[in-house]
Chains A and B, each alone.
Chain A
């Protein structure tokens, strides 16, 4: 009883803390210490049903109102050529209600020309179009959530979404349209929180923001073409990421050997991820599609190919945008990377409608149908998202 009361007190105090933070952020002037401060947040109600096996402790099966990430975004132009950008957010674990503050991005850059900007710091990885376009701003998404495989590393994502190091990027205008490129290099990620007590799983990517666990660095690139004229609104891109992964327990120090269902033991995975993206954003149509191939190699000469992709379509009709998205994962059961993450095949269909209350705030109502080999369930969500 006393334990339960203590938990309720924690929930209440965290809830009050977040409400105060949101209220405080709304009262802040837009320029603080010479930096322009903006942000995003949301309140989302989620209800899961037909979840098998049902867990009484699963917040979503109980119907949960959750405070979204409180995301702050600050930028400053230190000179005509040097600029600074940072994004940090407050978020809470839905099971424990424990809060955390993360520096999501911290970038300092020098603009040589429209064709070249050099930056250093912590970035969103250019591998994914969604990751580079919407970041943490749920108000910017048409949908309630990101595609699942683009979730952030600590939220079950499959692709690296952050990178600490150096970046170069720019764009070149030609008669054929605009060519945009980005190249990044820096600390390679690790997989931590892996639990191999019975079967391996539970791992999550960590971008190694403050210390690399090996001498092997990671590299990412993206090349994108947006044509002009009749094809204006269309965008096509290719991207890639190369990295080496090691596996660790929850302490982040103790190495773990991954045991695949076929008995293969893996300590290190060399991973290549290649992707394509296709978008159309004009004439009130929003079409987004991304697909990725994972090529995972271990040191026993075994290689694994896995695929993830999504397609999303929305049509803006005045302030309403009905939308739909289909997402699919096809992963090999013995791929040590996905064994460590506890990932299995998945298909997910969502349909919803977004209403733009004002340009900086929207309400979304969405239904989801999730299907994996071990679990099938439906989910409904209502979200009020805003930017400030």
Chain B
């Protein structure tokens, strides 16, 4: 009886290290998988909006406050250059994200704001474009134009663009 018990104990002790190793490997793999999932998830959630201009634009960078003032029509000139803001159509998801993050306005509120402002003092309202590609093209072709697109959309045109500001969007 004693021999059977001893043998069983020895067997258990012998098998213990290998069992722990398997558990460790399993835990490690699960943890890694979870981390990858979380990491991938957060990477998917954080996107960046790039405020862009052509290479000839007089400023090299803008602050968030300056971008806000430009899209509200309050800042019209930078370093002697007339600024022409380019907007995205309200059908583009980036527009709501931009208005919400930068101007703290909804799409309807932004339309109302500009209707009032134009009626009050004229000026140049942001010109809407149908897609990021059109915004990039307009920015490259128009002196003093600035626009906003997803940062990832600028990959193919970086040589001809200035990125004046990036705005993380969660």
B115: CB under 8 A from chain A? yes
B-contact 0/1 string along A113-147, CB 8 Å cutoff: 11000000000000000001101010010000000
Q: Is the CB of A140 within 8 A of B82?
A: no
> Which residues of the other chain, B, contact A359 by a CB distance below 8 angstroms?
108, 111-112, 115
B76 in complex: contacting residue of A40, A111, A132, A178, CB < 8 Å: A111
C-alpha spacing A42/B98, complex, angstroms: 33
C-alpha spacing A85/B123, complex, angstroms: 9
Q: Is the CB of A133 within 8 A of B76?
A: no
In the complex, which of the residues B74, B122, B123, B144 has the most CB atoms of chain A within 10 Å of its own CB atom?
B122
C-alpha spacing A36/B69, complex, angstroms: 23
> Which residues of the other chain, A, contact B122 by a CB distance below 8 angstroms?
75, 83-85, 107, 109
B-contact 0/1 string along A45-85, CB 8 Å cutoff: 00000000000000000000000000001010100110111
Q: Is the interface of A mostly helix, strand, loop or mixed?
A: strand
Q: Is the CB of B118 within 8 A of A38?
A: yes
Chain A interface size, under 10 / 10 to 19 / 20 to 34 / 35 or more: 20 to 34
Q: Is the CB of B111 within 8 A of A113?
A: no
Chain B interfacial positions (CB closer than 8 Å to A): 69, 74-77, 82, 108, 111-112, 115-116, 118-124, 144
> Which residues of the other chain, A, contact B112 by a CB distance below 8 angstroms?
359
Q: Is the CB of A140 within 8 A of B144?
A: no
> Which residues of the other chain, A, contact B124 by a CB distance below 8 angstroms?
77
Q: Is the CB of B120 within 8 A of A173?
A: no
A135 in complex: contacting residue of B111, B120, B123, B144, CB < 8 Å: B120
Q: Is the CB of B120 within 8 A of A133?
A: yes
A43: CB under 8 A from chain B? no
**Contacts A83-B122, A135-B119 supplied; 7 other A-B pairs, CB < 8 Å:** A73-B119, A75-B118, A83-B123, A137-B119, A359-B111, A360-B115, A387-B115
C-alpha spacing A132/B112, complex, angstroms: 17
Minimum CB–CB distance for A182 against chain B, Å: 10
| Chain A to chain B contacts (Cβ below 8 Å), 8 pairs | A38-B115, A40-B119, A75-B118, A83-B122, A114-B77, A135-B119, A135-B120, A387-B115
> Which residues of the other chain, A, contact B74 by a CB distance below 8 angstroms?
114, 171, 178
> Which residues of the other chain, A, contact B123 by a CB distance below 8 angstroms?
83
